[in-house]
Amino acid sequence: MPFDSTDIRSALTATGSATPSAQAAAADYLRFHDTAPTVLDGARRWRGRSQNLVIDVVDIDDAGTVLSYPGGPDETGVILTEAGTAVRVHAVGGVHAAGGETLTFVPPGRVELEFTAPGRVVVISTTRAPGLAEDAMNADAYLVDHANVAPIVPWPEPVGGYRVRTYDLTVPTLGSPPFRIFRCASFMVNYIAAQKGPRDPAKMSPHDHEDFEQLSLVLQGEYIHHLRWPWTTDLREWREDEHVHVAAPSLTVIPPPTVHTSQSLGADLNQLIDIFGPPRRDFSLQEGWVLNAADYPMPDAGA
């Protein structure tokens, strides 16, 4: 798939683009901005899911609010998107404090997030965490597993074993696009920096993924998601192209191997971050792209 020559993804080896053996599922467009949240004690929560992941966007209104998650066999991700937010993470091994504009990976098992300063938090779990996926606003879309999606098979344990690890989300980006990529053993977060103004329509980046979903979470501004479904041999399965407008906050689940690209529209800041489960091997193979690669080893080449 084409990338502008200034786009770092032009270095990737092309994958996908073949006729899929099964038609891709429909995309999910979860417009949290138009949906009433679940009201908790001191918080407002929106929850969506993909086949492998559960995403919570939670606005914490009051210091002292506590969010609890069952954890399960995989790590939990905690993103504090605003500079002033602060949390104490209660997890296996003790209590860990984290400030705003950070990403924290929490070991498998139960997690409690005690907020010492309010703000927005994004919590990432896998669907193997009990009791979460069934409560997502799009749970009915996954009553039957979607075609073409590989399951999460966790990568090797982190160096030194599982523990709470927090990463700064204000570190320099990789360039163009302004990626900041982190992974744990079960999923990957690309915390793309906010960009001002609409995207240049001459520099779009249509591409596809062979066997993993892309979860695009809009944190600021507004976007159009452009999607095109590859044709199968059965014409009755073909889908029309989609050009869908979303704003912040919203979550879009893009199924493989759909061709897709996203176009920012807002005159002010626009920010969309991408989440992948399992971690992307193609990004991980690029030297220096995954900023915490030293903590989380890749599987053996033959795995």
Query: Strand (E) positions, 136-276?
Result: 165-168, 181-183, 188-190, 195-196, 214-220, 222-228, 242-247, 250-254, 259-264, 269-276
Confidence of residue 25 (pLDDT cuts 50, 70, 90): very high
Question: pLDDT of 104-129, one tens digit each?
Answer: 999 999 999 999 999 999 999 999 99
Predicted pLDDT at 14: 57
What mean pLDDT comes out for the span 151-159? 96
Of 6-15, 52-61, 173-182, 288-297, least confident by mean pLDDT is 6-15
Confidence of residue 19 (pLDDT cuts 50, 70, 90): low
The full set of domain ranges for the chain reads 15-284
Bigger pLDDT: 287 vs 20: 287
Predicted pLDDT at 9: 85
Confidence of residue 148 (pLDDT cuts 50, 70, 90): very high
Q: Which class does domain 15-284 fall in?
A: mainly beta
Beta partners for residue 244, in sequence order:
225
pLDDT at position 21 over 90 = no
C-alpha–C-alpha distance, residues 57 and 255, integer Å: 21
Rounded percentage of the chain residues whose pLDDT exceeds 70? 95
C-alpha distances (whole Å) from 127 to each of 29, 33, 71, 73 are: 19, 24, 10, 10
Name the pTM for this structure.
0.94
Question: pLDDT of 172-224, one tens digit each?
Answer: 999 999 999 999 999 999 999 999 999 999 999 999 999 999 999 999 999 99
Beta partners for residue 214, in sequence order:
254
Predicted pLDDT at 7: 80
Confidence of residue 61 (pLDDT cuts 50, 70, 90): very high
Predicted pLDDT at 300: 83
Predicted pLDDT at 128: 97
The residues, ordered by sequence, that sit 6+ positions from 48 with a Cβ below 8 Å of its Cβ are 28, 30, 32, 54, 55, 136, 137, 138, 251, 253
Beta partners for residue 49, in sequence order:
54
Mean pLDDT, the chain, integer: 94
Closest CA to 237 of 64, 54, 21: 21
pLDDT at position 69 over 50 = yes
